[in-house]
Amino acid sequence: MADKAFITPIVFKWARESAKMSVETAASKVNVPVERLRDWEAGTTQPTIKQAQTLARAYKRPFALFFLPDIPRDFQPLQDFRRSDSKPLSTGSVFIIREIQQKQVWISETNEGNSESRFAFVGRFSIKDNPADVAHDILKTLDISPAKYLNGNAMKEWIDKAEAKGIFISRTSFINSHLTLDRDELQGFAIADPYAPFVFINSEDWNAPQLFTLVHELAHIWIAATGISADVEPSLQKADRMHPIELFCNEVAANALIPGNLLASLGSNIYHSAPQIFSAAKTFGVSSFALLVRALNLNLISLDQYKSLKRAADAEFKAFLIKEAEKKARQKESAGGPSYYLLQIQKNSRLFTQTVLDAFRGGSLEPTQASSLLNVKINHFHNLEAQLYK
């Protein structure tokens, strides 16, 4: 008979519930009836060691945690700035938040322990300030000129310059091949720590909404408002149901990405058709919808114009998405998809990856911890570095 794992039932149940995993899903991980898993959680019977180890991996918890005498102190939930009718956070969202928190805590404690300076821009403003002033400070601090992006790649420039200032930018759309992230549930979140500010972006979206989310989350850093966001892009229909902090950060993002003077300087000719709107929006790195809302708020177009152009932009956007899907399919067929190591760098953040590798190479970080932080085996670090320095 297989050895039993004499786990602590209350901790065992907490581990599943904190992973937002149903009893049915958990039972399927170890191919047992739901009633048996309930018995384990009640303490009337015990799982085998192999079964408990399998569930530890499924819950993304250390196996040893199941044997603690009581529920351990866990990471505090991030404040939820999403609308009250938002979808509940699922297992994927919980896992990515916990994973980023683990990385953030390590780098923050390391930086503080090394007597690194606190970042002055974290919490430099509050929600009582003018969003335009916050936007101006973000652009000045990161040295970014809107609509004048190098090689036209707005997203890359924002990420590179944010990380150059010490802000860790993580992007992914999946936990593993079976667990993906839902953009309607989670678009991004920010951890406004003065020693290690972190921003996470759900990359399931196409680039323009991702960029708006990125700058929105940077605004969270600038006002020291740690929390989760969804439905980030501006929308007239949803504005009245959004948290005041989300509305403020949207205003900051709109001012930073589409400065009023630059948009006004383009004149009225760009509002004649959806393709012209799309072309202008692409220059700023934003979506047609974001540009139209900005133009309406600046009184550059009327409400009737906005409604008419939005209908046309909807049709244009649907056609664009079809082309993008076809393009991605062709790329996947020809190249087999992006490198696993590149995906890990994007998920961990390029800056975080470099920091961990430097600590490992310098001997201040144990191999097992470095591997755990980067989710890459030690003997594959050279593949990670090859992607990092491309």
Q: Which residue has the tokens 């720590």?
A: 193
Query: How does residue 357 score in pLDDT terms, banded at 50, 70 and 90?
Result: very high
What percentage of residues in the chain have a pLDDT greater than 90?
64
* pLDDT (0 to 100) of residue 324: 67
Residue 119, pLDDT above cutoff 60: yes
Say if residue 118's pLDDT is above 70. yes
Asked if residue 313 has pLDDT above 70, the reply is yes
Beta strands in the chain (DSSP E): 168-172, 174-176, 179-180, 188-191, 198-202, 227-229
Q: Is the pLDDT of residue 1 over 60?
A: no
Q: Report d(CA 54, CA 61) in Å as an integer.
A: 10
pLDDT reported for residue 143: 96
Output the six-digit token pair for 131.
């969003």
Q: What angle, 0 to 180 degrees and rounded to 10, lies between the N-to-C axes of helices 274-284 and 303-335? A: 70
Mean pLDDT of 107-123: 94
Question: β-pairing, 168-172 with 198-202?
Answer: parallel
Least confident segment among 83-97, 98-112, 117-131, 224-238: 224-238
- Check whether 335 has a pLDDT greater than 60: no
DSSP state of 379: G
Domains of the chain: 9-67 (1.10.260.40), 91-335 (no CATH), 340-388 (no CATH)
- Is residue 179 within 8 Å of 19, Cβ to Cβ? no
Residues 218/195, Cβ–Cβ less than 8 Å: no
Helix, strand or coil, per DSSP, at residue 26:
helix
pLDDT computed for residue 215 by the predictor? 97
Quick check: helix, strand or coil at residue 249? helix
The greatest distance separating any two alpha carbons of the chain, rounded to the nearest whole angstrom, comes to 79
Task: Tell me the β-bridge partners of 172.
Answer: 202
Q: Cβ distance 248 to 131 under 8 Å?
A: yes
Q: Which two tokens stand for residue 326?
A: 């076809």
Q: How far apart, in whole angstroms, are the C-alpha atoms of residue 265 and residue 300?
A: 11
Predicted local distance difference test score (pLDDT) of residue 362 = 92
Predicted pLDDT at 142: 97
> Which tokens hold the place of 316?
């244009």
> 127 near 245, Cβ under 8 Å?
yes
Rg of the chain over Cα atoms, rounded to whole angstroms, equals: 23
The residue-averaged pLDDT of 272-299 equals 90
